[in-house]
C-alpha cells in the first residue's frame, strides 16, 4: 500500500523537500523585487506584529521565534542567510513554478469535472493528494498525518472508520484551557461527510447536553487497546496508538423517488428465445414469465432480431415467422416492444450463452475474401461483424454492406407494419458493430484478450488500409498510411507501449492524424447506417448503443477507448462528434455502464485505473448538451438493492439543475435468477421507484 500511494502521489519525500524549498525561494525572490532587496530585522518584525505593548505570552513567543531564527542563521543551509543567485536562475525558477501551477490547475479542473471530487475553488496540491489518498483508502488528518486504513485492524463489512483526535478533555478540565471550541457534529452532518478518512475535531463535554456528559466521560481512555461505545454516534471506538478510531455503521435514509419523473423500464428477453429455424423455443414458459412481468407494471420487453436467422440461407430471403408469434404474444399482454436489429454474431463474448453466426452466405464470401472482416495487426480476422471498410464496396453478391443492412430493415418494416402503426414498437436500436455497439472489435475474447488489456487497433483489412493510405496522401504524408507499430498487443498496459504511454506517440503529429482518421471512420459508419434506418423507420424512434470502456480512463491516453475508436484522451472530448451525429438523425443514445461501479471493488479495477462513473457522466453530459435523449441498460447482472440504487441515482440525478433524466432503462436480462422470490421483490421495488411511485422508505447500511 505504501508503494501504491507513492505511485499515486508521484513524488518522494526528498522531491517534496526540494519543491518546498523552491517555493520558499520563489516567494523570497518576489519579496526582493518588490522591496528593492531590503532585509528586515527579524526581531523588529516580531515586535511590530503585536501593534501594542508586549505581554508576557507575546514576549515568550518572541523569544522562541528569535531563538529559532538564530538557529537558522547558525545552521548550514538555514533560511536566515541566502546566497545571491544569478538573474537567469531566478527566471528559470519562476518559469518552473508557473508551469507547476498550471499543471496543478489542470489537474484540479479534471478532478472536479470528471472525478466528482469535492475540492474547494482555491485548492492546492495538498488538497489533491489528500483527496486521492482518501480515494485509495488512506486516512488523512488535517495536520497532514497520513496512515493506511488497514493499520486500524480488520473492520466489519459495510463499516467505515473515522479518525478522531486522541486529545479528549476530561470533565474536570475547563474547555477554554485546552483551546477546544468545536462541538460534536450532528448525525446529519456526519452522514454528509465523506466517511473515508474524515477527521472529527475533539470536543469538550461541556458542549454536550448535561445528560450526555457523564456518558461522554466513559470514552476517555488511556491509549490502550480498549473498545468503548459512543453514546451519540452509536458505534464503537478503538484506541490505536495515540489515535482513537470510531467504527460507524452509516444508517442512511433511503431517497424518496415518489413524484419524480416516470422512466419506462424494459426487460431484455433471453438471447435464444428464437432458434436458428426462426421458431420460438419455449412459448409457454415465456408467456408465464411475461405475465409476471406485466403484473409488476414492466413497460415492455427488448428483443434481438438476428440477421443470421432471418436472412441466414440466401441473400434477400427473409424469414420472420418466429418473431411474428413472439410479437403477437407480447402485444396481447399490452407490453411495448424495443427491437434490436442485430447485424453481428452472437457467441464468444461475455454473457453469450447461445451461438448465432452471421448468415451462411456471408461466411462463404468471407472464406474467399476474408478482408470483409475486421483484421488486427497480426492478420487475425474477426467474423463477429463486417468491416466498415466495405460499407460502400459491392462485395456481397453485388450489394454493399450498407445496402444489405437497409434491405433487412426495410423488410422488417414492411412485415410488421401494423405494430408500427399501432405504436406497439416504441424504438428500433440499430446494430452498428460488435455486440450491436458503435465501436471497433478491439478486445475480442476469442483472440486472447483479457480484462484490463488495452486491446488492438482493427484497421488492417484491405479496405480500411486503402482508406488510411488515401487519407495520408491527402494530408501530404504518404508514409503515414500505416497503423502504429508500437501500440502493444491485446493484453498490454499503456505504460508498456511507446504509443499509449504518457508523452507517447498517440499525441505526436502522426498519432493525432491516425487517431483522427480511425475515429472518423467510426462516426461515418454510424452516419451512413442511421441515415438509412431513419428512412426505413420514419416516425419511430431509432437508437444507437455505446458501451462504457472505463478501464485506463484515469490515464492520459485512455488507451482502451482509443483502440475501440473513441478518440478521447485527457485533452480531447472524444464523444462530441458521436452525439452530434446522433443529433443529426434524431437518434437516442443507449449507454451501457450505469452500474459498473460494482467493479470499483475489484482488485484488477484498481490496477486498471478505471473510472466507470466518470466516463458515464462525461458521455451523458455530452449527449445532454446537444439535447440527445439517453437511455441505458445494465452491463452486469444485478439483483441487489445497492446496484438498483446506483442505477436510480444515475437515471434521476438529484443535483441536475434542469431536472434531466434517462428516457428509458432496459434490464438485462430475463432469467430464472430474476424470477426468484427475493430478487423479484427487489426488482418490483426498483420498477416503482423508476416510475416515480411511492415505496416504503428503508434504512440501509452503506
CA 362 to CA 342: how far, in whole Å?
A: 15
Residues with Cβ within 8 Å of residue 50, at least 6 apart in sequence:
58
Q: Rg for the chain (alpha carbons), in Å?
A: 32
Contact 481, 473 (CB under 8 A): yes
Scanning 254-380, the segments in alpha helix (DSSP H) are 283-295, 307-310, 321-332, 360-368
CA 181 to CA 176: how far, in whole Å?
A: 8
CA 210 to CA 182: how far, in whole Å?
A: 17
Give strand pairing partners of 474: none
Reference 482, options 497, 470, 465; nearest CA is: 465
- CA distance to 1, 7, 226, 259, 326, per residue, from 129 (Å): 15, 11, 32, 41, 56
CA 423 to CA 651: how far, in whole Å?
A: 25
What is the four-CA torsion angle of 343, 345, 348, 353, rounded to 10 degrees? 100
Three-state DSSP state, 429: strand
CA 406 to CA 349: how far, in whole Å?
A: 26
CA 546 to CA 622: how far, in whole Å?
A: 13
Residues with Cβ within 8 Å of residue 415, at least 6 apart in sequence:
318, 320, 324
Name residue, grid cell 436489429. Answer: 341
CA 537 to CA 409: how far, in whole Å?
A: 8
How far, rounded to the nearest angstrom, does the alpha carbon of residue 316 sit from its chain's CA centroid?
42
Residue 217 exposure: Cα atoms within 13 Å on the Cβ side: 9
Q: What are phi and psi of 127, to 5 degrees?
A: -65, -40
The grid coordinates listed for 429 are 436500436
- CA distance to 128, 408, 574, 583, 603, per residue, from 532 (Å): 49, 11, 24, 15, 44
What is the four-CA torsion angle of 13, 15, 18, 24, rounded to 10 degrees? -80
Name residue, grid cell 479518525. Answer: 163
- The answer, yes or no, to whether the previous bond of 248 is cis (omega within 30 of 0) is no
Contact 602, 559 (CB under 8 A): no
Name residue, grid cell 478521447. Answer: 568
Q: Return the DSSP state at 466.
A: H
Residues taking part in catalysis: 437, 633
Q: Return the DSSP state at 124.
A: -
Amino acid at each position: 500500500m505504501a508503494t501504491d500511494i507513492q505511485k499515486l502521489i508521484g513524488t518522494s519525500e526528498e522531491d517534496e523537500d526540494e519543491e518546498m524549498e523552491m517555493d520558499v525561494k520563489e516567494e523570497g525572490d518576489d519579496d526582493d523585487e518588490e522591496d528593492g532587496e531590503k532585509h528586515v530585522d527579524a526581531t523588529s518584525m516580531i515586535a511590530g506584529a503585536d501593534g501594542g505593548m508586549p505581554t508576557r505570552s507575546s514576549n515568550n513567543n518572541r523569544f522562541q521565534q528569535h531563538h529559532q531564527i538564530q538557529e537558522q542563521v547558525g545552521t548550514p543551509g538555514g533560511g536566515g542567510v541566502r546566497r545571491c543567485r544569478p538573474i537567469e536562475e531566478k527566471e528559470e525558477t519562476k518559469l518552473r513554478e508557473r508551469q507547476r501551477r498550471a499543471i496543478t490547475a489542470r489537474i484540479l479542473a479534471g478532478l472536479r469535472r470528471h472525478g466528482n471530487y469535492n475540492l474547494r475553488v482555491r485548492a492546492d496540491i495538498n488538497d489533491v493528494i489528500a483527496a486521492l489518498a482518501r480515494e485509495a483508502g488512506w486516512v488523512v488528518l488535517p495536520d497532514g498525518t497520513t496512515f493506511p486504513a488497514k493499520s486500524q485492524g480488520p473492520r466489519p463489512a459495510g463499516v467505515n472508520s473515522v479518525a478522531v483526535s486522541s486529545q479528549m478533555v476530561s470533565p474536570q478540565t475547563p474547555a477554554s484551557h485546552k483551546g477546544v471550541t468545536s462541538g460534536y457534529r450532528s448525525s446529519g452532518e456526519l452522514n454528509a461527510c465523506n466517511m473515508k478518512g474524515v477527521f472529527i475535531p475533539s470536543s469538550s463535554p461541556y458542549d454536550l447536553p448535561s445528560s450526555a456528559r457523564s456518558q461522554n466521560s466513559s470514552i476517555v481512555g488511556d491509549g490502550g487497546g480498549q473498545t468503548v461505545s459512543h453514546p451519540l454516534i452509536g458505534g464503537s471506538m478503538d484506541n490505536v496508538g495515540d489515535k482513537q478510531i470510531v467504527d460507524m455503521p452509516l444508517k442512511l435514509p433511503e431517497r424518496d423517488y415518489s413524484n419524480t419523473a416516470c422512466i419506462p423500464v424494459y426487460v431484455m428477453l433471453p438471447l435464444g428465445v428464437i432458434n436458428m429455424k426462426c421458431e420460438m423455443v419455449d412459448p409457454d414458459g415465456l408467456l408465464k414469465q411475461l405475465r409476471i412481468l406485466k403484473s409488476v407494471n414492466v413497460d415492455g420487453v427488448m428483443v434481438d432480431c438476428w440477421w443470421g436467422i432471418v436472412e441466414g440461407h440466401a441473400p434477400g430471403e427473409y424469414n420472420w415467422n418466429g418473431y411474428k408469434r413472439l410479437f403477437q404474444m407480447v402485444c396481447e399482454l399490452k407490453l411495448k416492444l424495443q427491437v434490436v436489429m442485430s447485424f453481428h454474431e452472437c457467441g464468444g463474448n461475455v454473457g453469450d450463452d447461445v451461438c448465432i453466426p452471421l448468415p451462411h452466405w456471408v461466411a462463404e464470401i468471407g472464406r474467399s475474401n476474408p478482408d470483409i472482416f475486421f483484421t488486427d495487426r497480426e492478420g487475425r480476422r474477426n467474423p463477429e461483424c463486417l468491416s466498415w471498410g466495405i460499407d460502400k464496396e459491392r462485395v456481397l453478391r453485388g450489394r454493399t454492406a450498407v445496402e444489405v443492412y437497409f434491405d433487412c430493415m426495410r423488410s422488417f418494416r414492411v412485415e410488421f407494419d401494423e405494430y408500427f402503426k399501432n405504436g406497439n414498437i416504441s424504438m428500433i436500436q440499430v446494430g452498428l458493430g460488435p455486440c450491436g455497439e458503435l465501436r471497433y472489435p478491439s478486445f475480442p475474447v476469442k483472440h486472447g484478450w483479457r480484462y484490463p488489456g488495452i486491446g488492438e487497433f482493427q484497421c488492417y483489412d484491405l479496405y480500411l488500409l486503402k482508406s488510411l493510405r488515401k487519407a495520408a496522401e491527402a494530408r501530404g504524408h504518404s508514409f503515414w498510411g500505416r497503423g502504429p507499430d508500437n501500440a502493444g498487443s491485446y493484453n498490454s498496459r499503456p505504460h508498456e507501449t511507446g504509443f499509449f504511454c504518457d508523452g507517447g506517440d498517440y499525441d505526436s503529429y502522426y498519432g493525432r492524424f491516425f487517431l483522427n482518421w480511425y475515429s472518423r471512420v467510426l462516426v461515418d459508419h454510424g452516419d451512413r447506417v442511421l441515415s438509412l434506418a431513419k428512412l426505413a423507420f420514419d416516425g419511430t424512434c431509432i437508437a444507437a448503443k455505446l458501451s462504457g470502456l472505463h478501464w485506463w480512463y484515469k490515464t492520459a491516453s485512455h488507451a482502451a477507448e482509443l483502440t475501440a475508436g473513441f478518440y478521447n484522451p485527457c485533452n480531447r472530448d472524444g464523444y462530441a462528434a458521436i452525439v452530434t451525429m446522433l443529433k443529426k438523425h434524431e437518434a437516442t443514445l443507449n449507454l451501457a455502464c450505469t452500474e459498473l461501479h460494482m467493479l470499483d471493488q475489484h482488485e484488477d479495477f484498481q490496477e486498471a485505473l478505471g473510472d466507470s462513473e466518470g466516463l458515464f457522466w462525461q458521455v451523458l453530459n455530452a449527449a445532454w448538451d446537444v439535447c440527445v435523449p439517453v437511455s441505458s441498460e445494465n452491463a452486469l447482472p444485478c439483483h441487489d438493492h445497492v446496484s438498483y440504487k446506483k442505477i436510480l441515482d444515475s437515471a434521476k440525478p438529484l443535483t441536475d439543475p434542469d431536472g434531466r433524466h434517462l428516457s428509458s432503462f432496459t434490464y438485462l436480462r430475463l432469467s430464472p435468477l430474476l424470477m426468484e422470490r427475493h430478487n423479484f421483490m427487489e426488482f418490483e421495488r426498483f420498477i416503482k421507484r423508476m416510475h416515480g411511485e411511492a415505496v416504503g422508505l428503508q434504512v440501509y447500511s452503506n
